[in-house]
Every structure is written in structure tokens, then in C-alpha cells.
Amino acid sequence: MKPVTRPAVLVFGGHDPSGGAGIQADIETIGVLGGHAATVITALTIQDSRSVSGFLPAPLDIVIQQARMVLDDLSIAAIKIGMVGSIEICEAIHTLLTEHPEIPVVLDPVIYGGGGGTLSSGELVQAIRTLLIPRTTIATPNRRELQQLAQEGDSIQACGAELISLGCDNLLITGTDDPLPGESPDQVHHLLLTADGESTSLQQQRLDHHYHGSGCTLSSSIAVNLAVGKSVRQAVTEGLDFTWEALSNGFQPGRGQYFPGRLSHQKLQ
């Protein structure tokens, strides 16, 4: 029997006790798409399907030891970064990325919880901008996160160009928040920018509910697609399709937002 190969994705992220977002979302997404998630917990969060009430960063030395042991043992094909937790952890991740420049990096700059509440301080946002954005193959901020990372820009395009100028190779600005003036309200408008100046608008049908963990699902699906050697454009397109499918199969386990139905993906059927 031919052995099964699963590309390994190293994930830095926070633990969400509700199971909708964070590390659990990463594990489910990467696993169902045929990858293996090797996870480093950067923070413990206090949240449910409605909001975030607090978080505790993981001990720095534990984060570093976890990551180094995994990198020394596994053949890591991609790195996905979600919630960072602290400036010190951000600095440590920067060091690791510098030591492994050949590994593609997907950055989901988690600043706010899906239902409300902050998961990053202003100083940490600046550290992400300075240390991680320049080492990123593709970042996937929503519009609100983008404006925190690029405060000088006076438009979505200008903010995106600012991050590209810092060294980010590609930028997928997601539009799952409320439509901007002039946008069709029944469509979600995403924008893909590349370092060579290309700008591509991507639309999907807008679904009825608000979702907890959609950003984690999207960024992890892009990471596993890069891990198997797909181009950035293909990884983004297929990642958006998978995420839309998961959201369309969403469910409401609590009293707040819907969760993506990641495990209903057709590869498990």
C-alpha cells in the first residue's frame, strides 16, 4: 500500500474554548484538506460564540521550545500565523521566520474577536506590522484589521499598497463586513493585491449569518494549499471556495455567531 503523505503546516495561534476559531479551526481545516497541523499555542483566550472577554499569552520560552522542536523534527511545508499573544512572542516568531526563509508564510493578523473584543494591543499591532508583515507570503486581514495595520492610508487600496511596500508579497483583503458604498449588498467583495502591482477583485455570494472562525478557516486553507505547492492565486481561490462551503454548512452551537461547518467538506464524505 502506498503511504499517505500529509504536508505539515506549522501553526501559531490562540486557543478558543468555544472551538469556533483559533487552533481548533486551524486543525480542522488543515486536516480535512489533507494536511497535518503542528500547533504552537500562543495564548489562552476567554471567549464564547458571542465575544472575547480576555486572554493570557503563553510563556515565551515554551512557545520557542515548541516551535524549534517541531521545526527540527518535521518537514514543515508552510507556516500559518494567527493570534500572536505578545510582543515577545511576535519577536520570537520573527526570528524563526528569518531562520527559515524558504517556508511560505500565511499571516492572519488577528486583532479582534469575531463577535467583539480585542486580541491585540496597539503596541502588538505595530510589532506585527514591523516584524511579521515583511516576512509574509500572503496576509489575510479584513478591512478593519487592515486599517489598524496601515493607518496612513485613506482608502482600502492605499492601505493595501502600504503593507505591500513593507515587504508583504501578497495581500488578500477580505470583505465579509458590511458592504462599502457602491458594493452589491448580496455579494462579499475581496481584494487580492500582489507585489508586482496586480489587483484582482473576487466576489462571493453573501450568506445570511455572522460567523465565528471564518478568518482562521480561510487563512489555514490557503496555508495547506501552499503547502502542497499551489500558486498563491490558486491557493486563495480554492481557500475562498472551501471557506464559503464551510460557512454555507454552518451551525449555531451557542447563543451567538454561527460556526463554519468545516468537517462537512466533501473530502470527508
Q: What average pLDDT does the structure give for the chain?
A: 92
Distance of CA 64 to the CA centre of its chain: 20
For residue 218, pLDDT beyond 80 = yes
Closest residue by Cα to residue 232 from 216, 221, 217: 221
Closest residue by Cα to residue 134 from 114, 149, 147: 149
Tell me the residue length of the chain: 269
3-state secondary structure string, the chain? CCCCCCCEEEEEEEECCCCCCHHHHHHHHHHHCCCEEEEEEEEEEEECCCCEEEEEECCHHHHHHHHHHHHHHCCEEEEEECCCCCHHHHHHHHHHHHHCCCCCEEECCCCECCCCCECCCHHHHHHHHHHHHHHCCEECCEHHHHHHHCCCCCCHHHHHHHHHHCCCCEEEEECCCCCCCCCCCCEEEEEEEECCCCEEEEEEECCCCCECCHHHHHHHHHHHHHHCCCCHHHHHHHHHHHHHHHHHCCECCCCCCEECCHHHCHHHC
Overall average pLDDT of the 44-65 stretch: 94
For residue 269, pLDDT beyond 50 = no
Using CA atoms, how far residue 98 sits from 7, 90, 252, 261, in Å, is 21, 12, 40, 35
Per-residue pLDDT of 114-144, as tens digits, reads 555 555 678 899 999 999 999 999 999 999 8
Closest residue by Cα to residue 25 from 10, 38, 34, 15: 15
Percent of the chain with pLDDT over 90: 81
Residue with cell 502506498: 2
Domain layout of the chain by residue ranges: 8-249
Residue range 8-249, CATH number = 3.40.1190.20
Using CA atoms, how far residue 31 sits from 139, 251, 263, in Å, is 21, 20, 9
CA dist 45 and 82 (Å) reads: 13
For residue 211, pLDDT beyond 90 = yes
Per-residue pLDDT of 158-169, as tens digits, reads 999 999 999 999
Using CA atoms, how far residue 93 sits from 84, 125, 187, in Å, is 9, 14, 36
Per-residue pLDDT, 114: 56
Overall average pLDDT of the 164-179 stretch: 91
Of the ranges 70-84, 165-179, 252-266, the best mean pLDDT one: 70-84
Overall average pLDDT of the 17-22 stretch: 96
Confidence of residue 2 (pLDDT cuts 50, 70, 90): low
For residue 152, pLDDT beyond 90 = no
For residue 267, pLDDT beyond 60 = no
Per-residue pLDDT, 122: 83
Per-residue pLDDT, 117: 54
Per-residue pLDDT, 268: 44
User: Nearest 5°: CA angle at 231, between 90 and 198?
Assistant: 85
